[in-house]
Amino acid sequence: MPRKVSYGLDYDEDYGYDYEEVDDYRLDYDADDSGDVPIAREEPSRSTSNVWRCSICTYDNEEGLPACDICGVIRKTHIDVNNAKKTASASLKKDLPTERISTTSEENSNVVTSRGRHVNVIKSEHGSQLDIHASGSREVALEHGTSADEYKHQVLTSSSNSFSDESTNSAQKASSLKPYSHETWMLPEKGESVLTQLNIAIVGHVDSGKSTLSGRLLHLSGRISQKEMHKYEKEAKLQGKGSFAFAWALDESAEERERGITMTVAVAYFDTKKYHVVLLDSPGHKDFVPNMISGAIQADAAVLVIDASVGSFEAGMDGNKGQTREHAQLIRSFGIEQLIVAVNKMDAIEYSKERYELIKRQLGTFLRTSGFKDTSVQWVPMSAITNQNLDANPDDIRFSSWYKGPYLLKAIDSLPPPLRDFSRPLVMPVSDVIRSPSTGQISACGKLESGAMRAGLKVLVMPSGHLGTVKSMEHDSRPCTVARAGDHVAVVLQGVDGSRIIKGGVLCHPDFPISVAKHFELKVLTLEGASPILIGSQVELHIHHAMEAACVKKIISVLDPKTGEEMKKSPRILTPRQRAVIEVVLQGPVCAGEYSNCKALGRVSLRASGRTAAVGFVTRVIED
Ligand code: GTP
Ligand code: MG
């Protein structure tokens, strides 16, 4: 009889709730790729005269026309325009009086700042963007226009205004007028020879060598030229930080370089034989865990970097101060199952097999109890600084004499391809807002969690509810025509004020607006070493790229760790390593959804006193 291994806290299974099976989203939005002629759904019209609006090009056609005069799309059925208008408004919940708040360019430049780019590396502007989110999500705007486009914009905006105005206690529910059906261009073309995109988060304790490893990988793959590398080496030496030369490719800011630590997530790109890798180099310092969350939440897989040096591995594993544990638990709660443990700085321990085995044993036990399956974890000892076991087998005899496993790039190529949601409506959480230093254009950056985008497509900017049109897109600093689920892009929108695009916001399909709310029921797991959670506890709630202050309103029940069933009702306190159902009320609204509908918008982590207290997901968006 095989010995059963307890995988402890498996966030998908141990809660006694199989999300794959109750994936309502899939049922709601039955995909159809029939390629049939698109049928125009009538849109509400600005005028009360006898016209019907084409949903494709939004042109107001004469009542008698069977097809759109402009684009030829067939009119489906007759709907009274006044009723249609009510329906559209109702679907977005409320229709409150309109108001105008002018936004000066000065105001814009205060809230959206730019950041220089560097050899395919985009740095996040986390500190200021969190402020943008906090204020932006409560801002209101409505442009009074006369064009057909602007009418639709008004309908959407007024609903959102009502939300913003009454945001203290209302939840704006996602709703739609028709079932979603994707178009052919939204699916990857058959026989397309492009490499599959794989988003990899580089995480781990401070100073374990994450940025050095990232810089080295960019250099090995030719993304950083020899000339640029010489420049980094020279500059780093001049500042007395010679050992940080590779890290400087990722740590761009003067403060990061001076302190020798990463503060914000850097996004960089390189190709392996099998994948086009989007590398998310996270900060390891405990003060910047919120930034790490915002970056790593987009990942399909992770590389957990461990410093093998004596004392350093132990510091990372420290229950109170070590980020190895916290990062591992966080990435598992983000749904990341595939993990490569890069045991770095092997040169510092003379490539000792014994030390490597000890690390593997101790950390392996912890990873198992954190919900990682042995079969999904690969172990790769290496040295980023001496380039051992990164893109080829080690050539140092002290290392090659005992290590016969894969080198890092081989381990990356052996990761299974990620699953993508091409057939669901567009959802793109905004991870960053950047202003181009040359053109002044504002781009919303993020990973498409589902659906697709191309130039000319109308998208709804949440939480403000403004309607914009995709003007252009960039992927890996190059223009691209189509972006699909899984792609990491920077999108320029037209028809929407830049200040309405905020970090923590979401770009979505106009007919399938996502929920915006401030009251949630959550299923959580409290983490080891964190302070207990009480009714009234003040926490920071992180959900995709949004962060908001929250208060624990109720502790509904504690769940049995094995069965997921209710064990105790209304306890007064939650201690570490407990599963529970709680209710939280946020200070301001955030874009969010039930995990069973959209995983990307339903994963949460709660932080208090500078550390992660609990991880979990949204089980209910509560309307007060
Ligand atoms: P944070 O982002 O601040 O958490 O740090 P990090 O994990 O990105 O570490 P970083 O790459 O900045 O490297 C920290 C120090 O470790 C630097 O002095 C590097 O030279 C050193 N380092 C990185 N990799 C190795 C390695 O393989 N061997 C040795 N001996 N030192 C290394
Ligand atoms: Mg770093």
DSSP codes, 327-343: HHHHHHHTT--EEEEEE
* Token code pair at residue 621: 């968006």
Cα dihedral 148, 149, 154, 159 sign: positive
Model confidence at 147: pLDDT above 80: no
Residue type, 220: L
For residue 212, the ligand closest to its alpha carbon is 1
In this structure, which residue's CA is closest to atom 3 in ligand 1? 261
Beta strand 573-574 pairing with 506-508? unpaired
Q: How far is the CA of 324 from the centre of ligand 2 (A)?
A: 14
Using the CB atoms, write b or e for 395-425: b if 16+ within 10 Å.
ebeebeeebeebbbbbbbeebeebebbbbbb
Model confidence at 292: pLDDT above 60: yes
Backbone angles phi, psi at 212, to 5 degrees: -60, -45
Mean pLDDT of 518-532: 93
Q: Please tell me the predicted confidence (pLDDT) of residue 77.
A: 38
CA 60 to chain centre: 38
Lowest mean pLDDT among 138-147, 335-344, 448-457, 521-530: 138-147
Mean pLDDT of 453-466: 96
65 or 608, greater pLDDT: 608
Q: Which protein residues have their CB within 5 A of the ion that is ligand 2? A: 210-211, 262
CB atoms within 10 A of CB 499: 24
Q: Please tell me the predicted confidence (pLDDT) of residue 393.
A: 97
Task: Provide the percentage of residues in the chain whose pLDDT is more than 90.
Answer: 62
What span, in angstroms and rounded, lies between the C-alpha atoms of 63 and 53?
9
Q: How far is the CA of 262 from the centre of ligand 2 (A)?
A: 4
For residue 209, the ligand closest to its alpha carbon is 1
Of residues 398, 372, 401, 370, the one with CA closest to residue 386: 398
10 Å CB burial of residue 260 (0-12, 13-18, 19+) is middle
In this structure, which residue's CA is closest to atom 28 in ligand 1? 345
Model confidence at 44: pLDDT above 50: no
CB distance 304 to 213 below 8 Å: no
Mean pLDDT of 28-48: 32
Q: Which atom of ligand 1 is nearest to the CA of 285?
A: 4
- Of 123, 202, 207, 309, best ligand 1 pocket probe by most atoms within 8 Å of the beta carbon: 207
The set of protein residues with a Cβ atom below 6 angstroms from ligand 1 is 206-212, 243-244, 247, 261-262, 283-285, 344-345, 347-348, 383-385
What span, in angstroms and rounded, lies between the C-alpha atoms of 57 and 220?
48
* Token code pair at residue 508: 């979505």
- Of 248, 385, 387, 390, best ligand 1 pocket probe by most atoms within 8 Å of the beta carbon: 385
Residue type, 352: S
Q: How far is the CA of 243 from the centre of ligand 1 (A)?
A: 8
Q: Please tell me the predicted confidence (pLDDT) of residue 507.
A: 98
CB distance 433 to 444 below 8 Å: yes
Q: How far is the CA of 309 from the centre of ligand 1 (A)?
A: 11
Model confidence at 98: pLDDT above 60: no
- Give me the count of residues in the chain: 624
Q: Please tell me the predicted confidence (pLDDT) of residue 623.
A: 84
Q: Which one-letter DSSP state was computed for residue 273?
A: S
In this structure, which residue's CA is closest to atom 18 in ligand 1? 243
Q: Please tell me the predicted confidence (pLDDT) of residue 177.
A: 54
Of residues 154, 96, 161, 15, the one with CA closest to residue 464: 161
Model confidence at 481: pLDDT above 50: yes
What span, in angstroms and rounded, lies between the C-alpha atoms of 2 and 26?
37
Q: Please tell me the predicted confidence (pLDDT) of residue 63.
A: 67
Q: Which atom of ligand 1 is nearest to the CA of 246?
A: 11
What span, in angstroms and rounded, lies between the C-alpha atoms of 363 and 385?
23
* Token code pair at residue 551: 């208060």
Q: Which atom of ligand 1 is nearest to the CA of 241?
A: 18
Q: Please tell me the predicted confidence (pLDDT) of residue 66.
A: 61
Q: pTM value?
A: 0.74
How do residues 540-591 score in pLDDT, each as one tens digit? Answer: 999 999 999 999 999 999 999 888 899 999 999 999 999 999 999 999 999 9
Q: Please tell me the predicted confidence (pLDDT) of residue 130.
A: 26
**What pLDDT band is residue 11 in, cutting at 50, 70 and 90?**
very low
Place of tokens 């504690």: 558
Q: Please tell me the predicted confidence (pLDDT) of residue 531.
A: 87
- Of 203, 206, 212, best ligand 1 pocket probe by most atoms within 8 Å of the beta carbon: 212
Place of tokens 């309502």: 24
329 or 44, greater pLDDT: 329
Q: Which atom of ligand 1 is nearest to the CA of 384?
A: 27
In this structure, which residue's CA is closest to atom 10 in ligand 1? 209
CA distances from 85 to 38, 47, 95, 570 (A): 22, 10, 11, 45
Sequence-distant (≥ 6) Cβ neighbours of residue 343 within 8 angstroms: 306, 308, 356, 359, 360, 379, 380, 381, 382
Place of tokens 């979505």: 508
How do residues 178-224 score in pLDDT, each as one tens digit? Answer: 688 888 888 887 766 678 899 999 999 999 999 999 999 999 999 99
Winning range, highest mean pLDDT, from 49-58, 80-89, 211-220:
211-220
For residue 303, the ligand closest to its alpha carbon is 1
**What pLDDT band is residue 67 in, cutting at 50, 70 and 90?**
low
Of residues 622, 553, 554, the one with CA closest to residue 593: 622
Q: How far is the CA of 76 from the centre of ligand 2 (A)?
A: 56
60 or 87, greater pLDDT: 60
Q: Please tell me the predicted confidence (pLDDT) of residue 624.
A: 75
CB distance 275 to 338 below 8 Å: no
Q: Please tell me the predicted confidence (pLDDT) of residue 195.
A: 85
Of residues 402, 382, 401, the one with CA closest to residue 392: 382
What span, in angstroms and rounded, lies between the C-alpha atoms of 278 and 475?
10
Q: Please tell me the predicted confidence (pLDDT) of residue 208.
A: 97
154 or 413, greater pLDDT: 413
- Of 214, 239, 243, 407, best ligand 1 pocket probe by most atoms within 8 Å of the beta carbon: 243
Q: Please tell me the predicted confidence (pLDDT) of residue 331.
A: 94
What span, in angstroms and rounded, lies between the C-alpha atoms of 246 and 437?
26
Of residues 253, 329, 248, 344, the one with CA closest to residue 296: 329
For residue 384, the ligand closest to its alpha carbon is 1
Backbone angles phi, psi at 330, to 5 degrees: -65, -50
- CA 556-557-558 angle, 5° bins: 150
Query: Which residues on adjacent β-strands are paired with residue 492?
Result: 443, 472
Q: How far is the CA of 244 from the centre of ligand 1 (A)?
A: 7
What span, in angstroms and rounded, lies between the C-alpha atoms of 391 and 620?
46
Mean pLDDT of 88-103: 30
CB distance 460 to 467 below 8 Å: yes
**What pLDDT band is residue 321 in, cutting at 50, 70 and 90?**
confident
- Ramachandran region of residue 351, left (φ > 0), alpha (ψ -120 to 50) or beta? left
What span, in angstroms and rounded, lies between the C-alpha atoms of 228 and 142?
47
For residue 208, the ligand closest to its alpha carbon is 1
Of residues 316, 226, 293, the one with CA closest to residue 504: 293
Q: Please tell me the predicted confidence (pLDDT) of residue 228.
A: 94
Share the mean pLDDT of the chain. Answer: 78
Model confidence at 171: pLDDT above 70: no
How do residues 122-142 score in pLDDT, each as one tens digit? Answer: 454 433 322 222 222 322 222
CB atoms within 10 A of CB 468: 24
Sequence-distant (≥ 6) Cβ neighbours of residue 355 within 8 angstroms: 308, 310, 349
Model confidence at 46: pLDDT above 70: no
Of residues 393, 403, 388, the one with CA closest to residue 354: 403
Q: Please tell me the predicted confidence (pLDDT) of residue 51.
A: 64
Q: Which atom of ligand 1 is nearest to the CA of 245?
A: 20
Q: Which atom of ligand 1 is nearest to the CA of 382?
A: 27
Q: Please tell me the predicted confidence (pLDDT) of residue 83.
A: 36
Q: Please tell me the predicted confidence (pLDDT) of residue 233.
A: 94
CB distance 479 to 58 below 8 Å: no
**What pLDDT band is residue 312 in, cutting at 50, 70 and 90?**
very high
**What pLDDT band is residue 95 in, cutting at 50, 70 and 90?**
very low
For residue 242, the ligand closest to its alpha carbon is 1
Task: Provide the percentage of residues in the chain whose pLDDT is more than 70.
Answer: 71
Cα dihedral 397, 398, 400, 401 sign: positive
Q: Which atom of ligand 1 is nearest to the CA of 208?
A: 7
Mean pLDDT of 257-286: 95
Q: For the CA atoms of the chain, what is the radius of gyration?
A: 25
Q: How far is the CA of 291 from the centre of ligand 1 (A)?
A: 19
Mean pLDDT of 423-449: 92
Place of tokens 């960039």: 474
Place of tokens 């100073």: 207
